[in-house]
Structure 1
Amino acid sequence: MKVALLASVAFLVVSNPGLAESVTPNTPPPADANDKQTPQSAKKVVFSTGVAKGRDLLDSAISTSAMDEDRVAEIGGRTLAEVLRTVPGLRVEDSGNGGHANYTIRGLPLAGTGSKWLQFQEDGLPVLEFGDFVELFNDMLVRPDLNLARIESIRGGSASTFASNSPGGVINFISKTGEEEGGTIQLSTGIGDYDSKRGDFEYGGRLSSNLRFHLGGYYRSGAGARDAAASGLHGGQVKLNVTREFANGYVRLNAKLLDDREANYVAGPMRVTGSDSDPTYTPIAGFDPRVNNTISKNLPAVLSVGVDPRIVRGELSQAWRVKSAALGLEAKFDIAAWTFFNRMRYSSNSSRVGGATPVLVTSAPALAALFGGPGAQFSFATGPRAGETITNAATLNGNGLAAYTALLNGGSPKADYFVNDFRASRVWKVGGGDLTLTGGVYKSLQNFTTILSMDVAYQDFAGPNSALLDLRTAGGVKLTQGGIAAFSTFPFTAISNRYADVDYDITAPYGSLNFHKGRLSIGGSVRYDRGSVKGQRFGTELGGGRTRWRPIDINGDGVISIPEQVADGIQADQPAPIDYRYHYVSYSMGVNFRIADDLAVFARYSKGARALADTLYFTPIINAVTGKPASNKDTYDPVRQAEAGVKFRTDALTLNLTAFLAKTAEQNFQIKAGANGVLAVEPFQRSYRTYGAEFEGSYQHGPFSLTAAATYTHAEIQNDSTDATLAGNTPRHQPSLIAQAMPVVDLGPVTFGSSVVYTGSSYGQDVNKLKMQAFTTVNAFIEYRPIERITFSVNGSNLFNTLGVTETTQGSIPADGIVNARVINGRTLSAAMRLRF
């Protein structure tokens, strides 16, 4: 760590004004990776993410995509996931949370949560070291707003060697840096049932001839896309950067403050008819998951057990909240034929995640009898009908259903992150061509704390009026406390309340060598990742006599109620260590041949890996006594990829076609329903094989433009050490085809268009029985500019209110036809006014 800091400081010292003259008013500022560059011709497109050095894409053996701020605005996504699902090759499971979505790319498995194989970056640095921390996904830390200049993505290829833990690809959110003088104010509001009010601003420009800045942010509030009769949206962010230019480079300071929250949309009950291979999903009476949620105004603030003896309070209606304060420094200088580039950032991050997740959904009478015995009866515990006995539970809310629900109260109290990426590059003239050498060192320090505290309660389903239920035996004995059945997940699940505090120290030197002569480009890169992982974890799964359930007076009334008799405390005096090191090598080799000025072909082979993060903490992989795995290979998952493609580009038409093959090994866990219908956590160890083809194209003619993309994927589980019968099956949540199209017509004062996203059918679970049907979402926008600098717009997301199922916890249709399913948001409309000045 000291070496990395000293190297960065030394670099900035030698690169400062003592060795660089200031830019004069008549000298244009130097270009850099974050600047909007006007290409020399319409045929030259330079890309800088996940590569050694920016180069025209027709001379690069990589698969990339980019969208500018105008295209992001036209997409009109309510969430970051809705924007990113238009990226070719990217599979997005968006349940409308605004974050906390699941992402994968080119058929790499989406077995767990988050974005395991895909790294999110802001201005060239990752926002978190790992994209699948259970309580803090990296998309929770990224907010598209008016600060955004463009989004660049690279799929496969050199992403394995120019970034750690990102073998699938990199998505880079690039900020404006004050190149254009002026600013924007935008006010937007939801229309109809979509409750969202938001204000955005940005301004940038020059403070002097060699100093420029950009400032922007947003604030919002409202219930969001699904009515919980409570504010689910509340918060915003502010970003600032200041750039000092010199004759041979620049230094940039950037900062961000983020404090935002959203409701947590989890799986809820749906009715399924038909067969596993041809099912029909329909909302149950009184509960439509497109517009309702398992949380409501009638669900109280919950108390749960944290690290002994602390009692933790959580507000369910504001189910996840993230905070981040980041400060970064970036510098680029040309010195003695070398280009030196350093990026550094420190961020203080935290999250809180809550929600109501049904563990078992069944008929209310059956649930009462299961837990209370024959003749047991429910009554309302919360809401306006609190205390009222439910005399006919079979007709409760018109659907007759109730759930044994886990009330989650968790998060990451601390996830501080330091990252530094230093690289140097030089180009030599060799044999009539350009030989480019790049070398660098990546250093990161990631702290991650995670806490999981759960209660279980009984709940009904009545749209925004859902309530908790009290349960009494036939003899009148009350088994609940305000609807809470137990201050643990007793007795059904093996998941206990947990806590962990772990530090990651990662060092990764890397280098590349590329040769470009005439029509031929050839090169390779290599990276060596070495990590040290140390910390502690607390939880009864670790064994060693660690106590689980015991009496705790949760509400402090001096009486131990029946639910308080089975409280699940986290034993602060019974830690288990985490203490191991890992290392792996990544490499990538590619060749590109430019057949003509507008046509090129390429091929590439890469090997990368993803180090395992918190999915390891509470598994047998880490010894509960020593804190070490049995083997270094147990600490990371390797990915081997081959790709070959053709690229064609003219002033009006761009066409890219790429074939790909990937082999992946993975250790992870899944949450799914067991044979008894109850949610369970299932660890696994398996390998996959995936092949397919990816198309991306764009066309422009006069006022009309069209961008389109499609990805065909054939994926299979090659072997599974925990369930050999899964070999040859298609991994869950893996459609064979995803496609997007976005036509736009720009008539000057009026611009209108649409984005259409098709997601093919896939299996709900790896057993390959119950399917999730294919669905298409249609989004549209119209902009009107009555005078210069003022724009009025209306956009709609999921205009036809499509019921798009993204997850089912059941592997086949149960006897009662009720499954837990997660879906995309229903139709939402919004209007905005934008003023440029």
Structure 2
Amino acid sequence: MGTPAEAARAIRFDIEPQSLAAALDQFAREAGVQILYPYAIATTHRVAGLHGTMQPRAALEQLLQGSGLAIASFDDRTIALRVAAPAPQRRRRVGRSEARPAPPPASSPAPEILVTGRAADAALSAAEESYAVTQISAATLADRAPMSTADLFKEIPGFWVESTGGEASNNVRSRGIPTDGYSSVALLEDGLPVQYDGGLAYLNTDQVLRLDATIDRVEAVRGGPSAIFAPNAPGGSINFLTRDALTDPGVTLTTQLTRNDYRRVDGFFGAGIAPHIGVSLGGFYRYDNGLRDPGYPADRGGQLRAAIDYDDGRNRLAFNVKRLDDRVILYLPVPLQFSADGKVEAIPGFDPLTDTLDGPDNVHVPFKTADGTRDFDLSRGTDSRVTFYTMMGRLALGDSAALEVKSRLRTGKTVRNGLFPIGRPAAGTDYIASVWPRLATAYPTAATAEIRYADSGKPFLPSSNGNGLVVGANLLSVQLPMDEFITDTRVTDSVDRWGRHDIAVGLTYDDTRLGYDRQMSTVLLDVSGRAQRLDVVALGAAGQPVGALTDNGFIRYGSLFDDVHIHSSNVAVYLADEWHVGSRWRIDLGARWERIAIRGAAEGSTAVDLGDTATLADDAVLTGDGVEEPIRRRYAGFNWTIGVNYHPAAGTGLFARFTRATRLPGATDFNAAPDRTDAADVPITMAEVGTTFERRHWSLSAVLFGTRFERLPFTDYRFDAVTNSYVERTSIANTSTIGLEFDGHADLFGPLQLDLKATLQNPRYRNFVYVDLADGQAVTHDATGNQLIRVPRLSLRATPSLHLLNDRLRIGADFVHYSHRFADVANSQRLPAYSLINLDMEAQLDRHIKLSVHATNITNVLGLTEGNPRVGSFDAGGSTGYFLARPEFGRTVRVILNVNF
């Protein structure tokens, strides 16, 4: 007797000649089902087409003739294909034309599908999910070749991404979450955190994560159950799933070229060496002069991963070693100006699209410290030399139960050297006037002062750099040795009682040991590309030097000092249940209890005078005082979530979810203030309601969400240009956001398709009060109702594309728009709305070779993603005159050649 799907009504199919992979994707849309198939086989076989009205199974069998594939399972929602001859394969999930899955073993009656944020690994279509998921396939990764990890996240609705920092150290925010970096979004690799706490000071997770040819695909969970299965993940979890030789053997080689001598090679080799055993080797190497050329190699280095996998269809054991040895530049705000009518403009002599203040003048510069001279090398940028050892296993415990263990050891060190501009650009004469009282007091015989170039001694004139402007900057060096061990043990099972329960019970443990050595000095620079250090010299009546504010361009040596060692341990226990109440209803339940214990010590600091009377730069050098203040903290929190899905018909789903989560303080929250009293758990409330439609020629996902943070400390870490030191203040407040995410696809007519992603949200501060001093008087400011900093209310990406020559040629464009944002809590500095146009072309030259061309920001739009927090994140001083902000990169064209065997 046939299944209901086999006896389904006949459907009209119109499938043109094309690759089998593309034909199967079209079949899935026209039949309204999800189809799983081995991409590597299907993409190399071509079909003659299929036209007519027939039963879906008969139509599919006709498509598969001569392809080497056969039907493994077939029902009214999900179809799985396998190779016609038995072969051990790992099973994966595929979405509409998105993924590159592998088939189940021929002996397996049904496919298993890996889905991030789930208790079970049974097949589940997008319409059956009780949360929002974005899948990014291997084909998309190869075609798009994102320039950074953060750049990839622009594919995810609900995420606001700042990828203008370069290949690392960027920011991502999800659904109005008010914290920066990756402190509320977890990055996972094969389901295990790359770094347990992504919000460690100066150590964002993306600093040690690189995309390369060893990544098979990416699954991103937005909100939903992320806070149950992953640490510090109320905003979502992004899972990078690696490629292995059993699932996808073969050879891949990709080369990229672009301006500024960008050269990159990615490679992967995987092969079976025995039944059920495969080995692979892959990685990348890259060298370039930067999207903003600093005059030295900006990014150089690479990554290598070696892996061995065993998988017999029931039990699995995998081990891989990944070594990252890479230096990347950190791009920071650049000088700009507001015109009289409030528009953002370039400053003469400085191109904000291509210039950077970084330059050779600050490579190998001597820092004077109380312990002697220390070399500062700006060209090191973010220098990560880290090794990851990962082992994963799955042991079947009968017909339905399994034990899964994943462990990862990380060892290594990251050094971050950066040039952080401070304050606002100022005319040289105005700067001299601002520091003259200090010079006149220190050097009574001084009659005047002038600015000179530190290296040559030549006077700095208004014509020297085309604008006559100077700006302060901090040369910051942070050394971060870190060892971390993470392990996650999970037992899964299925129980039939009042429906079917797919249950997971897990335990996660993390042990982190981190060093934190931070030293900084402050310099004066001219406003120019590849800025040069400047000296301010006090002159006597006869014009002779009598002293100086600076020394070799340094306004203050030792303007910041920290020496901290931290040990944190995290324990989490979680439970999840996917309860299939009936054929159309599912209830997802989850809970997580977590505890963090933080131990360590921070050395105090004191200011010393190094004794050079010819300069003021060494009068107050911060150094360690030899007294260590202990850090002893312990916090615990409880997260829970409930989601309901209603699946009335194939390709249609409705869901609702409510989550209560807690963000615990992190290990590095006490680096600069071991005795702080404002650190506490932050309650988070999230709710979402969504719908999913998958039809023959279109698909749509829409999610209405609400997010609320309570008792969240906001710190204004402002650099005072008068004292050349940081001034810190904290306000504890709430935030609330309501918004709508939209993700849609449509086959319009002929070869024209349209993809649309949009987020509309209203992120606001609540109960936010802070105090300023004005003329010695305390002035209270209420920021309640103001828009969250740096988050646009509207993010929109529309991508029309033409698919020609039987899908061998794709020509597309991205039209991107961001509404205005604000650089500060007071909403005094407005960052204008902007729109970008990007162009793409991908051509399948033959069955093995693909050529792609990507052009970004082709109109050279000056769009600002953030202001400069060092001038004040509470109040940045308004939208007039000169200021600092970080813009999008200028026009860039990349050529990518991908070869697969």
> In which range does the TM-score fall when normalised by the shorter chain?
0.7 to 0.9
Shift of 1:246: 2.9
The code of the aligned residue for 1:567 comes to V
> Aligned partner of 1:570: which letter?
G
Alignment of 1:731 with 2:797, yes or no, is no
Structure-1 residue corresponding to 2:568: 504
- Which one of 594, 597, 620 corresponds to residue 532 of structure 1? 597
What's 2:173 paired with?
A: 104
Query: Where do residues 433-582 of structure 1 align in structure 2 (5 Å cutoff)?
Result: 433-464=499-530, 466-475=531-540, 476-479=545-548, 480-489=550-559, 496-516=560-580, 517-540=582-605, 547-551=606-610, 562-571=616-625, 573-582=626-635
1:818 offset after TM fit, Å?
A: 0.3
Q: Over residues 67-124 of structure 1, what are the superposed CA-to-partner deviations in whole Å (9 max), with x where a residue is unaligned?
A: 11221233343222222122111111122411101111011114xx412211111111
Provide the rounded CA distance (Å) in 2 between the counterparts of 1:244 and 1:30.
10
Change (3 A) 1:816 1:715: closer
- Retained in 2: the 8 A contact 1:75–1:779? no
* Alpha-carbon contact 2:100-2:137 (below 8 Å) kept: no
Contact 1:104 1:116 in 2 (8 A): no
Change (3 A) 1:814 1:521: closer
Aligned to 1:418: 485
Of 130-139 and 44-53, the range deviating more from structure 2: 44-53
Specify the alignment match of 2:853 in structure 1. Answer: 794
What is the rounded CA distance, in whole Å, between the counterparts of 1:441 and 1:181 in structure 2? 33
Distance 1:401 1:816, change over 3 A: farther
Alpha-carbon separation, structure 1, partners of 2:232 and 2:325: 27
SS in structure 2 at match of 1:574:
strand
What's the counterpart of residue 443 of structure 2? none
Distance 1:338 1:788, change over 3 A: closer
TM-score (structure 1 length as normaliser): 0.87
Query: What is residue 885 of structure 2 aligned with on the other side?
Result: 821
Counterpart of 2:799 in structure 1: which amino acid? M
Provide the residue aligned with 1:58 in structure 2: 127
User: In the comparison of the two structures, how many residue pairs are matched?
Assistant: 768
Aligned twin of 2:376: 314
In structure 2, the CA distance between the partners of 1:303 and 1:27, relative to structure 1 (3 Å rule), is: same
CA-to-aligned-CA distance 1:431-470 (integer Å, 9 cap, x gap): 3x31122101011112222222111111102213x21112
User: 1:167 Cα deviation (Å)?
Assistant: 1.0
Moved more, 444-453 or 521-530: 444-453
1:515-555 per-residue CA deviation (whole Å, 9 max, x = no partner) reads: 10210001211100011100111244xxxxxx2233279xx
Q: Which amino acid aligns with 1:59?
A: E
What is the deviation of 1:815? 9.0
Cα distance in 1 for partners of 2:823, 2:417 equals: 24
Distance verdict in 2 for CA 1:671–1:589, change over 3 Å: same
Aligned to 1:556: none
Residue aligning to 1:139? 206
User: What's 1:664 paired with?
Assistant: 709
Aligned to 1:70, what secondary structure does the other structure show?
helix
1:593 paired to 2:685? no
Q: Which residue of 1 aligns with 2:88?
A: 28
From 843, 846, 864, the equivalent of 1:805 is 864
Contact 2:227–2:639 at 8 Å: present in 1 too?
yes
* Distance in 2 separating the partners of 1:680 and 1:229: 33
The letter of the residue matching 2:632 is D
Aligned partner of 1:141: which letter? V
**In the alignment, which of 831, 835, 841 is matched to residue 772 of structure 1?**
831
Which residue identity lines up with residue 68 of structure 1 in the other structure? S
RMSD (CA atoms) = 2.6
Q: For 1:527 and 1:816, how far apart are their aligned partners in 2?
A: 48
CA contact (8 A) 2:493 2:502 kept: yes
Distance verdict in 2 for CA 1:707–1:340, change over 3 Å: farther
Matches within 5 A, 1:166-565: 166-178=233-245, 179-191=247-259, 194-274=260-340, 279-304=342-367, 309=371, 311-336=373-398, 337-360=400-423, 361-372=425-436, 373=439, 375-382=448-455, 386-390=456-460, 393-412=461-480, 414-431=481-498, 433-464=499-530, 466-475=531-540, 476-479=545-548, 480-489=550-559, 496-516=560-580, 517-540=582-605, 547-551=606-610, 562-565=616-619
Matched, 1:686 2:733: yes
Contact 2:809–2:844 (CA under 8 A) maintained in structure 1: yes
Secondary structure, in 3 states, of the residue corresponding to 2:176?
A: coil
TM-fit CA distance, 1:304: 3.3
Instruction: State the SS of the aligned residue for 2:380.
Output: coil
Match of 1:751 among 792, 810, 821: 810
**2:745 counterpart residue number:** 698
Q: Which amino acid aligns with 2:812?
A: G
Matched with 2:695 is 650
* Contact 1:47–1:57 (CA under 8 A) maintained in structure 2: no
2:100–2:139: 8 Å Cα contact kept in structure 1? Answer: no
Which is worse superposed, 222-231 or 308-317? 308-317
Provide the C-alpha distance between the structure 2 equivalents of 1:195 and 1:637, rounded to a whole number of angstroms. Answer: 46
How many angstroms apart in 2 are the aligned matches of 1:376 and 1:683? 38
Query: Which whole-Å CA distance do the structure 2 matches of 1:45 and 1:339 have between them?
Result: 13
Separation in 2, partners of 1:172, 1:588: 20
Structure 2: stretches of 5+ with no match in the other structure:
1-84, 105-110, 440-446, 772-780
Supply the distance in 1 between the matched residues of 2:589 and 2:567 (Cα, whole angstroms). Answer: 32
Q: Structure 1 regions of 5+ residues with no counterpart?
A: 1-24, 490-495, 541-546, 554-558
**Equivalents in 2 of 1:700, 1:208: separation in Å?**
44
Q: Which letter does structure 2 place at the counterpart of 1:664?
A: F
Q: Which one is further off, 297-306 or 166-175? A: 297-306
Letter in 2 for 1:254: N
Contact 2:830 2:878 in 1 (8 A): no
Q: Distance in 1 between the 2:87 and 2:332 partners?
A: 55
1:712 aligns with 2:760: yes
Structure 1 residues 549 and 623: alpha-carbon distance in aligned structure 2, compared to 1, 3 A threshold: same
SS in 1 for 2:465: helix
C-alpha change, 1:283 and 1:201, in structure 2 (3 Å) is same
Separation in 2 of the partners of 1:108 and 1:780? Answer: 31
Supply the distance in 2 between the matched residues of 1:675 and 1:369 (Cα, whole angstroms): 14
CA contact (8 A) 1:550 1:568 kept: no
Determine the structure 1 residue equivalent to 2:444. Answer: none
- Is the 8 Å Cα contact of residues 88 and 276 (structure 2) preserved in structure 1? no
Aligned 8 A contact 2:653 2:693 in 1: yes
The correspondence for 2:897, drawn from 815, 833, 836, is 833
* 1:88–1:305 CA distance, 2 compared to 1 (3 A): farther
Asked if the contact 1:75–1:780 (Cα under 8 Å) also holds between the matched residues in 2, the reply is: no
SS of residue in 2 equivalent to 1:224: coil
> Is the partner of 1:220 in helix, strand or coil?
strand
Q: 1:760 aligns to what?
A: 819
Deviations 1:382-426 (CA, angstroms, capped at 9, x unpaired): 3xxx22123xx34441211101221112231x1221111111111
**TM-score normalised per structure 2:** 0.81
Q: 1:671 to 1:580 in 2, by over 3 A?
A: closer
2:362 is paired with a residue of what secondary structure? coil
**TM-superposition CA deviations, 1:735-767 (whole Å, max 9, x none):** 111122333333344332233332211111111
SS at match of 2:210: coil
Q: Which residue of 1 aligns with 2:46?
A: none
* DSSP 3-state at the match of 1:388: coil
Structure 1 residue 652 displacement after superposition: 3.6
How far apart are the structure 2 equivalents of 1:91 and 1:619?
Answer: 29
* Residue equivalent to 1:8: none
Q: CA offsets per residue over residues 123-164 of structure 1, 9 Å max, x none? A: 111111222222111111111121121111111111011111
